Amino acid sequence: MDFKGINHYSTLFVKDCLHSNCTCMHENNPTCSHGENHAILGFLLTSGQNKDGEFIGDLMGMPGLYVVPQGMEDIIDYIKKRYNNMPIFVTENGYGSNDNQEGGYDLDKDINRIKFHKAYLASLARSIRYFYR
């Protein structure tokens, strides 16, 4: 294998359902899932909230996606260590916004998307700097 490609948009909390009681702890949690439509069905519980009901980050414009720049840094660090510093390409990354945004998109004023990319690129830069110290 020559390189690893990463698509990263968001981060969620994950709980192991094989060794833990997996129930959605918060009634109005749209991101709590038992793996529906995924290969993880019955094995993992994913949620945007921790056990205390705190959200992992700010919601994007799409349900179930959160802004979590630290997640980018964590996945890059994990892949670098796990695969002995194999070259990594971030092949996809982006901010999920509501398709019904009034007036279309004015890229100069798309503040949430700008903040998202600034934070994710800073996280990626930290990961690169840290690994090569």
pLDDT tens, residue by residue, 35-64? 554 555 667 778 888 888 899 999 988 888
pLDDT, tens digit, for every residue of 17-28?
Answer: 777 777 665 555
Burial zone of 72 (CB within 10 Å; 0-12 exposed, 13-18 middle, 19+ buried): buried
**Catalytic residue list contains 54:** no
Choosing from 27, 36, 92, 102, the catalytic residue is 92
Least confident range of 17-26, 27-36, 64-73: 27-36
Kindly report the CA angle at 5 between 4 and 6, in degrees rounded to 5? Answer: 120
Q: Is 65 left (phi over 0), alpha (psi -120 to 50) or beta?
A: beta
